Amino acid sequence: MNAQAQRVLKKKRIGVLWGGTSREREVSLRSGKNVLVALQRRGLNAVGIDVDAEIARNLRNKKIEVAFVVLHGKPGEDGTIQGMLELMGIPYAGSGVLASALALNKLASKKIFCQEGITTPPYAFLPRNDSTSIPSLTKRLGLPLVVKPLEEGSSYGVAILHKSREIVPSLRKQHREYGDLLAEKFIPGMNATVGILGCGLTTRALPVLELVPKKEFYDLEAKYTPGLTEFVIPARLPKRLYQELQDQALSAHHALGCHGFSRVDAIVDMKKGKAYILEVNTIPGMTNLSDLPAEAKAAGISYDDLVLEMLESALKRL
């Protein structure tokens, strides 16, 4: 953060918005408390606010002038809280209403990736009242098949289906619990993630992080249980493929109109030498086990400096 931005923010009362009611509440609390401590360590006037139905009143009562949203899932990553902050005239860090909504909705982001020439696995939309023919689905996408909720994060509801007979019962269960779904062609390969940081000309890709889960894939348990996933950074990729992945991640960030920071998840088919973008996360985890802080550390950016640069993105809207 430059000196001028720091002087401006030291005069502001900053609200770290955490918690909420999504399935990712507990992770949000952990992320938010880490962010709050980092801001306070740097001498900023910051307070934490648990988001509930009284959030607008609480923001007014606590005289919040700048918001740092650390809400994972809805209503933090779908543009809802951002829209409310804009109506209240409170600048906030990170992506705006439209980019947030597009990124959380996997179908919308997939369509944009395809339009912009960003490589992503072939997919099919499976609405709640879907009557998709299973043979046509498997013919199009093959087996194994990846099925995921349309608007969830942290790998909630993600399933890898290996046999045709698993598909119907799995879809029924997931439709009941999550509503609309997205099916993707399974791409075997390296799990990787790329942090994006900065605004305007300073926007850049951080070092690529290779994730080596001890489970079948990088699911919720693997993400937040110490010892279940090995972090390798920089990722063990050929130079050309490494650069291609960073470039594609930046393209995905820009294609959705993201602002300030994001984390782009990908899978790399090592045999074909091809990187596939899966999704963009506009509010990345900020826990001790999260990807973005690890990528920033590899780039020589401390946790506190990362948080400050993320917060500075709020000033870019003023």
Cβ contact 94:310 at 8 Å: yes
Residues 228 and 283 reside in one and the same domain: yes
Domain that residue 234 falls in: 102-119+188-317
CA pair distance 306, 196, nearest whole angstrom: 11
Residue 221 has a pLDDT of 65
Residue 110 has a pLDDT of 97
Give me the helices (H) in the chain, please. Answer: 3-10, 25-41, 55-61, 80-88, 97-104, 106-115, 134-141, 164-178, 220-224, 239-255, 291-298, 303-312
Residues 163 and 195 reside in one and the same domain: no
Residue 129 has a pLDDT of 79
Residue 4 has a pLDDT of 80
DSSP codes of every residue in 28-50: HHHHHHHHHHHHHHTT-EEEEEE
Residues 113 and 262 reside in one and the same domain: yes
Question: Among 162, 185, 208, where does a domain finish?
Answer: 185
Question: Among 156, 185, 214, where does a domain finish?
Answer: 185
Residues 42 and 70 reside in one and the same domain: yes
CA pair distance 100, 259, nearest whole angstrom: 10
Residues 111 and 196 reside in one and the same domain: yes
Could you report the per-residue pLDDT of 157-166, keeping only the tens digit for each?
788 999 988 8
Output the CA–CA distances (angstroms, integers) from residue 48 to 17, 238, 285, 296, in the order listed: 6, 43, 16, 23
Specify the CATH number for the domain of residue 171: 3.30.1490.20
Residues 192 and 240 reside in one and the same domain: yes
Residues 181 and 192 reside in one and the same domain: no
Residues 84 and 31 reside in one and the same domain: yes
Q: Which residues are catalytic?
A: 24, 154, 224, 263, 265, 279, 281, 285
Specify the CATH number for the domain of residue 231: 3.30.470.20
Q: How many domains does the chain divide into?
A: 3
Residue 203 has a pLDDT of 96
Could you report the per-residue pLDDT of 68-92, keeping only the tens digit for each?
999 998 899 999 999 999 999 999 9
Within 13 A of 16's CA, how many CA atoms are on the CB side? Answer: 26
Specify the CATH number for the domain of residue 13: 3.40.50.20
Residue 223 has a pLDDT of 63
Q: Along the chain (318 residues), what's the average pLDDT of each consecutive run of 10 residues?
A: 80 95 90 97 96 95 97 92 97 97 96 97 89 79 92 79 89 89 94 96 96 72 71 96 97 98 97 96 93 97 97 83
Do strands 181-185 and 145-149 pair parallel, antiparallel, or not at all (unpaired)? antiparallel
The structure's pTM equals 0.92
Structure tokens belonging to residue 68: 């740092």
